[in-house]
Structure 1
Amino acid sequence: MNKKAKTPVTAGNILLFVVTIVIAIIFVFPIFFNIMSAFKSNPEIMKDAIAFPKGFYVESFKYLVTKTDYPKAMLNSAILTLGSIAAMIVIIPMAAYAIERNNKKWTNAVFVFFLFGMMVPFQVYMIPLFKELNIMGLFGNLVGPIMIYIAGSVGFGVLLYTSFLKGVPREIEESAEIDGCTRIGIFWRIVFPLLGPVTASMVVLQGLGIWNDFLMPMLVLPSGQTKTMIVELFYYVGEFSSRWDMIFAGTTMSLVPVLIAFLSLQKYFVKGVSSGAIKG
């Protein structure tokens, strides 16, 4: 009976394991601290921030849900995230497909133009952008941020999709074209279903960025009007006092959709990132 050979325990393996544990603790501790503090009252947090809660304090959650606009702010964040992601999934894969399958000078120039957009920080063009939104009548509503998120994700999205498309055989498309399928039909019926892993990567990476974004919604959505989740929590931080119980409770509530989405797409996310890295 054959037995699997055991991996020898070496100093290098032990060091790698220890480093992995340390990195995991560094990443997990802020989440653990946040959830633990969410079930403490504000005086209890101020007295000893790192102590375990003495009881199961849930008044902060009740107050946020029933007495504040936080549920509406979470809904606004969900609309921004889902609306932006839906538009990205429709627009960006088609752009990447056109660039990858039409290897011409002008498509390569468009690809370089998209990549150049990744190199320009948002802070450089945000003031002219806000003026443009004001002229177009999109300043102060959710349509403006959605358009900005879509435009800002084109460079990274096209790079991700074109890298993955290099591994999709053209013979499948040629067979469908012989059967009389149109170019649009070939993409949506044959090619796009094969892009599931990279689409999951796109959803997770861009969705997390939009869901947790603070700067752009803070500037584009004026005070007193439509606010997102992170902007709503920001107003609990004062110059002389802060409601840390509300902040920790709100951020804990915001973690739930993120964890559900990531755990649901984790397998496809890892596959998409690794495939894109190898094929690119």
Structure 2
Amino acid sequence: MGYQLIRRSLLFTYAVIVIVPLMVVLLGSFKTTPELFSSPYGLPTSLRLDNYAEVVGKENLTTAFVNSVLVTVCSVSLTLVLASLAAYAATRITGWLIGAVYAFLILGMAVPAQTNMVPQYVLFYSLGLTDSLVGLVLIHVVVTLPIAVFILTGFMRSLPRDIFEAASLDGSGPWRTYRQIVMPLSKPSLAATAIFLFVIHWNDVLYPLLLVTDPDKKTLPLALLDFQGEYLTNYPLLFTGVIIASAPVVLAYVFLQRYFIAGMTAGAIKG
């Protein structure tokens, strides 16, 4: 009884810590600046949509939204292709060499992103990939590839070996087995990994801040920083931008929730 009480108390405290800031942001997007500062936790006096109209009407935010969509879709797609190929090789090829390559790749998960920022910037600058959406896609793929390989490898190792042996007896080569057997069976894990990568790429502000200075190449999280001035921050507009930027992530999770849960549990039990 005592354990359950402590557990529920901790969960309730955690829920309050998460929900209260979210409610302040959501309600603040319908307020004016004086109203927000006078009553940050209260309900808005009226359901005004002026902030949303102003944010949507900003041309730079529209461009930033399109840039975020392009960078995120390309980054997720390319990462999934490369990670699935690497995971398939790691599970099907035996020997110390593939094990060493896999260990070296996974080692990238242990290296903090901030430690590589200076050499990454120098490299991308020398290649002419700064202020470039292609550069953002490449850096996102490189940074998130280790975690994607780790997730997909864990799932593919749980696939029954009988499937691969049967495919080999039927004359199916490695490439055909990958396309027609492994990829269809890996759909739950691929969907879960895609959602995970989507959240990371869509919300990333570190690498756009590092590589992008051209206003036409800014992504949405980076463009939202324009609402923060040196002496004054327009918090209602900033909160409105945060709500709009978060909407695609929330919608993706709502519609793909069953795939996300299936992907997280896939591979937990050996086939």
Q: Give the structure-1-normalised TM-score.
A: 0.90
What is aligned with 1:239? 230
What is aligned with 1:7? none
What is aligned with 2:77? 86
What is aligned with 1:273? 264
CA RMSD of aligned residues (A): 1.7
What is aligned with 1:40? 31
Amino acid at match of 1:81: T
Q: Is the 8 A contact 1:217 1:227 kept in 2?
A: yes
What is aligned with 2:47? 56
How much does 1:223 deviate?
4.3
Match of 2:240 among 237, 244, 249: 249
What is aligned with 1:3? none
How much does 1:211 deviate?
0.9
Task: Describe how 1:1-280 pairs up with structure 2 within 5 A.
Answer: 10-275=1-266
How much does 1:28 deviate?
2.5
Q: Is the 8 A contact 1:41 1:57 kept in 2?
A: no
Q: Give the structure-2-normalised TM-score.
A: 0.93
Q: Is the 8 A contact 1:160 1:276 kept in 2?
A: no
- For residues 183-233 of structure 1, the C-alpha deviation after alignment (integer angstroms, 9 at most, x for no partner) is 111111111111122212211222111111111101111143411111111
- For residues 95-151 of structure 1, the C-alpha deviation after alignment (integer angstroms, 9 at most, x for no partner) is 011011112100000011012111111211211111211222211111111111111
State how far apart, in whole Å, the 1-side matches of 2:7 and 2:106 are. Answer: 35
Structure 2: gaps (5+ residues): none
State how far apart, in whole Å, the 2-side matches of 1:168 and 1:144 are. Answer: 35
Instruction: Report the number of matched residues.
Output: 270
How much does 1:37 deviate?
0.8
Q: Percent identity?
A: 29
Amino acid at match of 1:140: D
Q: Is the 8 A contact 1:149 1:210 kept in 2?
A: yes
How much does 1:278 deviate?
6.5
Which is further off, 241-250 or 30-39?
Answer: 30-39
State how far apart, in whole Å, the 1-side matches of 2:19 and 2:180 are. Answer: 41
Amino acid at match of 2:40: A
State how far apart, in whole Å, the 2-side matches of 1:258 and 1:93 are. Answer: 23
